[in-house]
Chain A
Amino acid sequence: MSAATNGVNGKGKLLEVNDLKMHFPITKGIVFQRQVGAIKAVDGVSFDLYSGETLGLVGESGCGKSTTGRAILQLYRPTDGQVVFEGKDLVQTKGEELRRMRRRMQMIFQDPYASLNPRMTVGSIVGEPLDVHGIGSSRKERQERVQELLKIVGLNPYFVNRYPHEFSGGQRQRIGVARALAVNPSFIVADEPISALDVSIQAQVINLMEDLQEELGLTYLFIAHDLSVVRHISDRIAVMYLGKIVELADRDELYRNPMHPYTQALLSAVPIPDPKIENQRKRIILEGDVPSPANPPKGCNFCTRCPRVMDICREQEPTFKDYGDGHYAACFLHE
């Protein structure tokens, strides 16, 4: 199912991100603080998300994947740009109105140990969204809903009165999923939901997420750095580098025909489980380090490490364009 057919099939656009920027100020001085610069964690990200699909967001550590996810959910207030969710620009939404919008969008966090309050029981963690949004008419009804949610994520409903520390990482992540599902959201940002888990548990959580998507019609923004996992779960994949999306395409198209040199380098790093092919495989090894997001290079962000860099790359910024069939890329090689 390609992105284009997604739209054509009558599946509506759920989320539209336009030129999203999240700059964190760098300040100096103790009493009189002045801004001396900004960490451009996310610097002009645009993409659409269609109902029921999974968009994978990949990139190396520190490229702004998580920040993008959090800025979309307004956990960080973006510096600039639009996040249109179900027809409403979240960046312009504030206070009580934004709080009510949270019923529709949720997040699954990376660290199942840090994302559950150690002083709350599982019941109150999963039940809190019901409480604060006034879902369910009575306490008893809410308790029943909590037990039902625990069952949905494959936990024993009698765990309600236990504390998070009594659970394993995988179980804790299921609690996190149950909390996200409590309000019946349509959209979930999954911020590296499995990278903190054992490999044996990763598949369980991925399968759970897929089952839930099928049953509840969820839309995921799946943030990860594990390319094989992303390939497995995503319909479309966006590749980020230093605060920008450099390429976005249908999953199979991206793996078959990566256009951006960074994507090519990333994909060349995925090992192939066949020694003969593996031996002949050519890896593209990138030189140097990622530049600081406080001081990104002039021109294309990737020009300092690109194996196929041209003069124009150091002068101008490439535009993020559709090269046909929903395959977007930002690279002068193809312009």
Chain B
Amino acid sequence: MTTATTQIRLGAEAPKKTRTLWQNAARHILRDKLTLAALLVLGLMTLLCVLGPPVVENVLELDVNRTSIPDKFLAPGAAGHILGTDHLGRDQLIRLLYGGRVSLAIAYSASVMTILIGVALGLIAGYYGGRVDDLITWVVTTLSSVPTLFLLLIAAAFWTPSAELLIVILALLGWVGTCRLVRGEVLSLKEQEYIAAAQAVGVPNFRLLVHHILPNVLPIVIVTMTIIAGNLILVESGLSFLGVGVQAPTPSWGNMLTDSRSYFNIGTHLVIWPGVLIMVTVLCFYLVGDGLRDALDPRSSWRLAE
């Protein structure tokens, strides 16, 4: 056949524009309304919690820690208290904003730390195998048999549980799941022919990990990260219920919900607001994870485009 080596004239038309994986993902998400909405809600919530408190304090002349017994259990809409007050007469809006800071900080920081540790160790264990893998697997197995809850109870006995402490403990105990997941993914990816092809081409180990294996585990990692972030918010509220979460007077959505459960019949709004915020945030994290999984798959980007 001669066509195989026929010279084709260059320069007649330009090649299709380069789009990276991330540009493709961005385009995909812009078309995916549900994910976009979830992303916007999360972004807005984060922005409000980070930038909102000082503004709200100034405009409404509030202080997050100011108690005022005569003003307790005010209903939403009361003068000066848009979302009402709690059992100590503290303004609910400002407490929700500060609480959001704490809850979201735990969700973001602990999930990022979890993922960083888990992915790094999972990649190393899965790719290099041998002794390194044995060691990491051993640590993972050992750590996953530590009863997290009791460790937290013990930690709470020694130190006052703060957001920072919770983040560190949750991350140091939480990475094992991600590590195991990534290790498994890498083990199966390693057997793919394109990895052998890259080795045959002479791609060095580190580049192989970063260019060939990491991009292929990244989607599942990102989905896991958003689910972990959602879970962490739930875990934080669960820990508050047991009294080992973030301690009063620092508000978090979890401890606000816990505190208000005794006053459900008097101040329904005290249960509903933190509860709804927790639910919406967790749901948004899950939705974003789901949307990102589709967006990061190059095979799905043309499906929406057609």
What residues make up the interface of A, taking CB atoms closer than 8 Å to B? 70, 73, 75, 99-100, 102-103, 106-107, 109-111, 114-121, 123, 128-129, 132-133, 147, 151-154, 156-163, 165-166, 176, 179, 182-183, 203-204, 207-208, 211-212, 215
Contacts and interface: CB of A to CB of B under 8 A. Distances in A.
B216 A152 contact: no
A259 B204 CA distance: 45
A114 B207 contact: no
B13 A158 contact: yes
B198 A128 contact: yes
A179 to B, nearest CB: 7
Interface of B: 1-8, 10, 13-19, 21, 192-194, 196-204, 207, 211-212, 215-216, 298-299, 302
Contact of B1 (A100, A102, A118, A211): A211
Given A109-B193, A117-B212, A152-B5, A102 B201 contact: yes
A156 B192 CA distance: 27
Nearest to B18: A161
A207 B302 CA distance: 33
**SS class, residues of chain B in contact with chain A:** helix
Given A158-B14, A158-B16, A161-B18, A106 B201 contact: yes
Contacts of A100: 202
A162 B16 contact: yes
A119 B215 contact: yes
B7 A151 contact: yes
A132 B7 contact: no
A161 B16 contact: yes
Nearest to B14: A158
Contact of B196 (A70, A159, A208): A70
A215 B2 CA distance: 12
A117 B194 contact: yes
A132 B15 contact: no
A132 B196 contact: no
A117 B16 contact: no
A121 B201 CA distance: 16
B200 A102 contact: yes
